[in-house]
Amino acid sequence: MIDAARLRDALVAAREAMDEACRISGRPPGSAEIVLAGKYVTADEASALVEAGARVVGENRLQDLVAKQDVLGDAVTFDFIGHLQSRKVKDVLPRVRLIHSVDRDSLIDEIGRRATSRPRVLLQVNLAREETKGGFVPDDLSGALERACDAGVVVGGLMALPPFTSDPEMSRPWFERLRELRDDLAGEWGAEHDLRDLSMGTSQDFLVAVEAGATMVRVGRGIVDSTRMEQP
């Protein structure tokens, strides 16, 4: 089980390190937030998240989102960070603040159809054009933003998973490229979309991501596993 006190300490340490990374990048403390990846936490352990002061939890699957929301209610904010099937949009939308992983035109259309108010989403970008990952390639982003306008969907920014590497510095060019894409798109589409967020960085490279401009980092295993109590 998760030790809530250990998790609190780990989150505090991560936020302090992120504030320093913000300072390095010329931004004020608190400019980047932790989205704690919920897939490393069971529904039975969910109450420890509140005790530890977790604020935003990102879920990859609808069934896990429902199970944890049944336990926690509105004590934390939920985002959706995994691959989203179109048929599940109607159930996910009312439960989350933000979908980070809008990766195709048909998903934009379905979100627009199912929303009861103007939803805000992030577009997933396949920066390296990896066949094993979803997302829009950079050249298709302007078309996706136009489609979102037609669907009544606000694009709040971009999300990316760079190619895996054990060296955080190897991710920096990809993070900087995502920031550049966002800045260019904001210049073109700022009247229709706010494009203020960059969701990038996971447990192994989140500080580099913050230095490169991340406003949200998706961390989980690197924090949660270190806070589990040893079983007798």
Q: Where are the domains of the chain?
A: 4-227
Q: What is the pLDDT of residues 160-173, one digit of tens each?
A: 999 999 999 999 99
Mean pLDDT throughout 7-21? 96
Comparing CA positions, the residue from 122, 47, 118, 45 lying closest to residue 81 is: 122
Task: Provide the CATH topology of domain 4-227.
Answer: TIM Barrel (3.20.20)
Secondary structure (3-state) at 27: coil
Q: Quick check: 20 and 42 in contact, CB under 8 A?
A: no
Confidence at 230, pLDDT banded by 50, 70, 90: low
Report in angstroms the alpha-carbon separations of 131 from 151, 164, 166. 27, 13, 20
Residue 91 host element (H or E): helix 89-92
> 0.85 cut: is pTM over it?
yes
Q: What is the pLDDT of residues 168-217, one digit of tens each?
A: 999 999 999 999 999 999 999 999 999 999 999 999 999 999 999 999 99
Q: Can you give the pLDDT at residue 223? A: 86
